[in-house]
Amino acid sequence: MNHSPHFRQLLAAAAAQPEPQRLLFVFAVAELPDSATPEQRERFQSGRGGALAPLMCVDKAPGDVTDFAGLVSEAGRAGPPWSVVFAASLSGQGGRPPDKARIDLALETMVEAVRDGRISGFAAYGSQGEFLEIG
């Protein structure tokens, strides 16, 4: 497994923030839409293209995620196989982490953004920990 320096930087940046953070993760897989053209089908068969389908999401305190391998292991026990995980951070206020309602709303918003392909604001990682530049 690639021990992503970018992922380690994400964890370090979240831990260094002045306000407590929650890390938000949305695990997704690429699917081929039923309405795909022959060209889109060909690209998908070669490992490119497709539509992102969110599979599951979770929030974690930065200290609860020690490395990418641990996140992958936990995700493997919790749900179906995935091909990309999107990550973001949510800041608390007044020295307190975000409350459950804020976290749930942020995760819901993030899942919808991934479903709609609006992913430019998130860090993205492949299943081996490689940083993905999607856009």
Place of tokens 């200290």: 63
Q: Is the pLDDT of residue 1 over 50?
A: no
Name the helix (H) or strand (E) containing 19.
none
pLDDT, position 12? 94
- Rounded Cα distance between 75 and 85, Å, is 10
The DSSP annotation for 27-85 comes to EEEEE--TT--HHHHHHHHTT---EEEEEEEEEE-GGG---HHHHHHHHHHHSS--SEE
Identity of the amino acid at 29:
V
Give the largest CA-CA distance in the chain: 54
Q: Would you say 41 and 32 are in contact if contact means Cβ atoms under 8 Å apart?
A: yes
Q: Which two tokens stand for residue 94?
A: 């007044």
- Rounded Cα distance between 68 and 66, Å, is 7
N residues, the chain: 135
Q: Which pTM was predicted?
A: 0.89
Q: Would you say 127 and 83 are in contact if contact means Cβ atoms under 8 Å apart?
A: yes
Per-residue pLDDT reduced to its tens digit, 54-91: 999 999 999 999 999 999 999 999 999 999 999 999 99
pLDDT, position 135? 58
